[in-house]
Amino acid sequence: MGIIIAILIFSLIVTVHEFGHFICAKLSGINVLEFSVGMGPKLLQKQYHGTKYSLRVIPMGGYCAMEDEDASGDNPHGFRNAKLWKRMIVLVAGPLMNFVLGFILIVGMVLSMKTIPTTTVKGFFGSKSDDGTITYYSQSHETGLEHDDRIISVDGTSIFSYLDLSYIFATTKTHTHDVVVERDGKRVELPEVVFNDKRDGDMVDFALYHKDKSALNVTKASGGIFLSMGHVVTLSFKQLVTGKVDKAEVSGPVGVVSTISEATEKSEDKADAFLQLFYISALISVNVGIFNLLPIPGLDGGRLLFCFIELVRRKPVKPEHEGYVHLAGFALLLSIMVFATYNDIVNLINR
């Protein structure tokens, strides 16, 4: 059951992306030849107003094929004959829809929580003696952090939600951190803060305030988590490019489906299953949106780059020249996909 849910979620993320391209192309007067959900042989197909709508066998992708997308033609309703600003909107619409879907899923995630964690310090680990004296085990308290501090940044990284803190604690190996907090309405810099419990060096030694799920709190928390996810995805890409991420950790569609499936099947109860499902699905959707905006040939970002070049040159790059660049980009992306899928299969076998 978990695998079926995972495949449906993955298909939804891709379909929503392609629907963004589709709806903006239609609104811009660009002919859409086919809008397909899934890949491979056709299961169903229907023609309506000049567009083929297809449902295909493999529910792991989809596409929106526009007229004259890869070559110039005489049709005034072809993609390349549309005004530059319309083409740019069509290209941006796919990633934008992923961001919209991601935000909706984050709202579902927040609603699945019992309470909403903030970034404000509630208290520290310690014990209270009979005479009321408190002995703290928290090094963060000893090194400058205080009750009711709202954490603004850690080591120069902005903190939008508790997810940023979780990511930093999980990925950094340093023991001391430069922290900026808001204290009594003022910005305070705290150098060399240590977040570890004296009794257990791997345990974060402070607790955060939680809020009730009012409409305002859910909206604000969802916005903060959305920014955090974008932040985390961007940092992950940076670590991948700079070689700080092991190649064995690179994952493809098989790994994504496996991760979603495990999260749903290993959850303690239905509420936890929904929370995990919303979280991973939102993270993947935001990831897809950001990745597609990267200026890599073959992606939406690569096509947008050529649009900006056209904007500066005041004339388009020859379609055949742009086509060669995108073909090379697709070859690179395909090789990465094959490598990632190989990693996924090896990881599944080794479990």
User: Do 89 and 146 sit in the same domain of this protein?
Assistant: no
User: Do 69 and 160 sit in the same domain of this protein?
Assistant: no
Q: What is the pLDDT, as a whole number, of residue 28? A: 94
User: Do 123 and 46 sit in the same domain of this protein?
Assistant: no
Is the separation of the CB atoms in 121 and 168 below 8 Å? no
* Residues constituting the chain: 351
- Domain end call among 211, 232, 254: 211
User: Do 94 and 8 sit in the same domain of this protein?
Assistant: yes
Residue 265 lies in a domain: no
Q: What is the pTM of this model?
A: 0.85
Let me know how many helices (H) and strands (E) the chain has, helices first: 9, 12
pLDDT tens string for the chain (351 positions)? 667 777 888 889 999 999 999 999 999 999 999 999 988 899 999 998 889 999 998 887 789 999 988 776 678 888 988 999 999 999 999 999 999 999 999 999 999 898 999 999 998 887 878 777 777 778 888 898 999 999 999 998 899 999 898 888 877 777 789 999 999 999 999 999 988 766 665 677 889 999 999 999 999 999 999 999 998 888 777 777 776 656 555 555 655 666 666 656 666 667 777 888 888 889 889 999 999 999 888 899 999 999 999 999 888 888 888 888 888 887 877 777 776 666 656 555 665
Residue 226 lies in a domain: no
Query: What backbone phi and psi angles, to 5 degrees, belong to 36?
Result: -115, 135
User: Do 106 and 122 sit in the same domain of this protein?
Assistant: no
Residue 72 lies in a domain: yes
User: Do 123 and 202 sit in the same domain of this protein?
Assistant: yes
Q: What is the pLDDT, as a whole number, of residue 6? A: 76
**Tokens 């090194």, residue located:** 143
User: Do 85 and 124 sit in the same domain of this protein?
Assistant: no
Which residue range forms the structural domain that includes residue 192?
116-211
- Give Cβ neighbours of residue 167 (< 8 Å, ≥ 6 apart): 228, 232, 235
Radius of gyration over alpha carbons of the chain, in Å?
Answer: 24
274-333 pLDDT, tens per residue?
A: 888 888 889 889 999 999 999 888 899 999 999 999 999 888 888 888 888 888 887 877
Return the exposure string of 317-332: e unless at least 16 CB atoms fall within 10 Å of the residue's CB, then b.
eebeebeebbeebeee
Q: Label the pairing between strands 186-194 and 176-183.
A: antiparallel
- Domain end call among 196, 211, 226: 211
Residue 146 lies in a domain: yes
**To 5 degrees, how large is the angle CA 170–CA 172–CA 175?**
110
User: Do 25 and 102 sit in the same domain of this protein?
Assistant: yes
- Domain end call among 211, 236, 252: 211
Q: What is the CATH number of the domain that holds 130?
A: 2.30.42.10
What's the domain count of the chain?
A: 2
Cα distance between residue 271 and residue 276, in whole Å: 9
User: Do 38 and 98 sit in the same domain of this protein?
Assistant: yes
Residue 152 lies in a domain: yes
Residue 103 lies in a domain: yes
**What tokens does 103 get?**
């935000």
Residue 252 lies in a domain: no
Residue 235 lies in a domain: no
Complete DSSP assignment for 38-91: EEEEEEEEEEETTEEEEEEEEEEEEEEEETTSSS--S-TTSGGGS-HHHHHHHH
User: Do 185 and 102 sit in the same domain of this protein?
Assistant: no
User: Do 136 and 79 sit in the same domain of this protein?
Assistant: no
User: Do 80 and 13 sit in the same domain of this protein?
Assistant: yes
